[in-house]
Amino acid sequence: MVQSLGLALHASSEEPFYRQIFDQIVDRVRTGAFPSGYKLPPTRELARILGTHRNTVVRAYEDLLAAGFVESTVGRGTFVAALPAARATVKAVESGRLPWSTLIARGATAESLTRYERLPRIPLGSDPINMARMQPSPDLLPDELLRRCLEHVLRVMGPRLLGYANRDGAPRLRAAIAADCARLGVPASAEDIVVTSGSQQALDLIIRALVNPGDPVLVDDATYTGALNLMSSAGARPIGVPSDDEGPSLEALERLGRAGAKAFYIMPNAHNPTGAAISTARREALVAWSHRSGVPIIEDDFVADLDLDGNASPPAIRALDGDVIHVGTYSKRLAPALRVGFIVAPAPLRPRLAALKYTVDLGNSELLQHTLAEFLERGYLTAHLGRTIPEYRRRRDALEEALSRHLPRHLRWRRAERGVWLWMPLPPTLEPRALFEEAQRRGVLVHPSTLNVVEERRDGGGIRLTFCSETPARLVEGARRLGRAVAALDARASVSGDDITGVGGI
């Protein structure tokens, strides 16, 4: 019987022997090769045949028993358990009986939500270079450090981590986040923190808590696409605020603040998509305006810790005013899959946010919250940033040098002091959507500002070029392809009689 099992241990495998035995038996149970009631050989006999220690087989059998794949009775042996039978495949009834076009809510069809769908799609070929994705490349994700933390908290806390979480977030993680905020100059205690599923949910909860359908919300003229989508889907009316070299226009804010705005959403340390930062003086003026107008400020610091040149950011607006709603995340500086963001909220708002959070998802994963807390407590974040920041700087520099070689002189870009992207404003004759489309033809993806504006327009704008998802060599090739796309559009503009020479940039 043992010879017919077909099990084999591979010394070259990364999996330990007990896990190999476990996986191979589970595979045979799943495929029906070991049916319900099938008797597995005694541990001593299987260990002899496989040439391994009996304890290895014992551990594999214990894991099979714990997982419910086998049953064991003293004196009788170990048998494959009776598993639930698979249901027969049922063919779905064709749709079309309900009037879906009239049932879908207006918020789900808001104009900003459909912009990405309306962008032209062109086959990218076999080797596209992605300078639109704003997430770290796999080689910069701390999988080994996170694995250590995950295994540790599971081993120490066990099944306690597999239930529903505290509505505000695990107290341990809230304390760790508060300490991390203090390191970054954001005063906070654990009681100030509401843990969320990324900063996207943080913004969603804030909008739900503050905004009624039809209420205006102030944003930059061009802003984070995800924030626009949240506001539009909630029925809010985003209103764009122009900026100067120091930040949002105070004159415009004085005028717009009287229109009943419920909040002002800003990204003070690295605006998305332009990368601009708000000066210290303008931050102080914004706090004064907020108190005069009664409009709360939502401060989104999604680029926390990503200071590429070692220059500290100006003081957080939350540090200037305890009524500021501060939003943070660990997606950009650590790993998006953790889905951990947070809100540092004014005391009157915290219980409302916590109640909405619980209503939406019953709490974040307790397992991932304790994993991140362990990661922060061990000081792994500092070590991880010590590895990734120099690499981001290297990638930025490689992209800039390649752009200077492959792009025409009339195009300039904003150097990224913090964050993981460059902003390239375009002249009026070079439309962001057109460059996005032509770049696709050349095998490179860029992010057009048409996705970021409060109201779509054909003039002005630019493209965002991220450098976190590709290696320096691929960024250089991406710049070359982008240069060819610009040259093609310039050639067409020349044929049509448009003059684009001498146009400057940032």
CA distance 93 to 493: 52
Helix 17-31 with 43-50: angle, nearest 10 deg: 110
Query: Could you give phi then psi for residue 150, rounded to 5 degrees?
Result: -60, -45
CA distance 439 to 139: 26
- Two structure tokens written together for 116: 């990405």
Tens digit of each residue's pLDDT (9 = 90 or more) over 42-85: 989 888 888 889 998 899 898 888 888 889 888 888 999 987 77
DSSP lists the bridge partners of residue 343 as 194, 327
CA distance 135 to 137: 7
DSSP structure class, residue 295: -
Place of tokens 């306690």: 160
DSSP lists the bridge partners of residue 448 as 463
Tens digit of each residue's pLDDT (9 = 90 or more) over 148-200: 999 999 999 999 999 988 889 999 999 999 999 999 999 999 999 999 999 99
Three-class secondary structure of residue 82 per DSSP: coil
- Two structure tokens written together for 9: 């241990």
Type and span of the H or E element at 237:
strand 237-241
Residue 101 has pLDDT above 70, yes or no: yes
Type and span of the H or E element at 264:
strand 264-266
pLDDT of residue 171: 96
pLDDT of residue 503: 30
Tens digit of each residue's pLDDT (9 = 90 or more) over 323-333: 999 999 999 99
Cα 270 → chain centroid: 16
Q: Please name the residues in contact with 83: beta carbons below 8 A apart, sequence gap of 6 or more.
A: 29, 36, 68, 69
pLDDT band at 119 (very low <50, low <70, confident <90, very high): confident
Indicate the pairing of strand 264-266 with strand 297-300: parallel
Residue 389 has pLDDT above 90, yes or no: yes
State the average pLDDT over residues 26-55. 88
In a 13 Å sphere around the CA of 258, the CA atoms on its Cβ side amount to 5
Three-class secondary structure of residue 374 per DSSP: helix
Cβ contact 80:40 at 8 Å: yes
pLDDT band at 117 (very low <50, low <70, confident <90, very high): confident
Least confident of 51-65, 225-239, 311-325, 492-506: 492-506
Q: Is the peptide bond before 273 cis (omega within 30 degrees of 0)?
A: yes
Residue 501 has pLDDT above 60, yes or no: no
DSSP structure class, residue 134: -
Q: Which has the higher per-residue pLDDT, 368 or 24?
A: 368
CA distance 382 to 376: 8
State the average pLDDT over residues 365-370. 96
What burial letters (b/e) apply to 4-23, b meaning 16+ CB within 10 Å?
ebebebeeeeeeebbebbbe
**Of residues 454, 457, 460, the one with CA closest to residue 112:** 454
The number of beta carbons lying within 10 Å of the beta carbon of residue 58 is: 15
pLDDT band at 458 (very low <50, low <70, confident <90, very high): low
All domains of the chain in start order, with CATH: 3-80 (1.10.10.10), 119-139+383-496 (3.90.1150.10), 157-379 (3.40.640.10)
